Amino acid sequence: MRPIAPTTLTDGAAMFGALAHPARLAAFRHLVQAGQRGAVAGAIAGASQLSPSALSFHLKELAAAGLVRSWREGRYVRYALEVARLQGLIAFLVEECCQGRPELCGLPVEDRPATDGVPAAPASARS
């Protein structure tokens, strides 16, 4: 499962925008906890006090940003995280923030052979 990072600032902004609402963040968290199996819309609605149409609206926003996918299962629609895409967003943020040096972001660092002081490549130019 290779991370799929946003390719442009506009794409990245759209992904952050998808998370920029408490109801969507709550749905996002619900789907994180649901794991790869996902959760049906009704279960997410039940946990979030949202009307069906409001939930549908917000899930569509998450899906438009590529953070979530959905499929029909009988009369239900099941949603699950696009884990690779989410990993891509985190990688994007870490790259922007840390320029390839995760420890600057407060993240744990992988145990690797010494690189003779050669720093990791900085974030490349992006439109």
Partner DNA sequence: CCAATAATTCAATAGATCATGAAAAGTCCA
Partner DNA sequence: TGGACTTTTCATGATCTATTGAATTATTGG
Residue 6: closest CA among 63, 71, 84, 78: 84
Among residues 34, 43, 77, 90, which is the contact residue for a second copy, using CB under 8 A?
90
* CA separation for the pair 100, 108 (Å, rounded): 13
Q: How far is the CB of 30 from DNA (least distance, A)?
A: 13
Q: Does 20 sit near a second copy (CB under 8 A)?
A: yes
Residue 63: closest CA among 39, 85, 96, 93: 85
Q: Does 81 sit near DNA (CB under 7 A)?
A: no
- x/- contact string, 60-79, with DNA (CB under 7 A)? xx--------x-x-xxxx--
Q: Does 113 sit near a second copy (CB under 8 A)?
A: no
Q: Does 105 sit near a second copy (CB under 8 A)?
A: yes
Write down the residue that tokens 């794991």 correspond to: 35
* CA separation for the pair 14, 88 (Å, rounded): 13
Among residues 7, 9, 32, 52, which is the contact residue for DNA, using CB under 7 A?
52
Q: Does 58 sit near DNA (CB under 7 A)?
A: yes
What residues pair up with 76 in beta bridges, in sequence order?
A: 73
Structure tokens at 79: 């949603």
Q: Does 3 sit near a second copy (CB under 8 A)?
A: yes
Structure tokens at 102: 């995760």
Residues engaged in binding DNA (CB under 7 A): 17, 20-21, 23, 40-42, 45, 51-61, 70, 72, 74-77
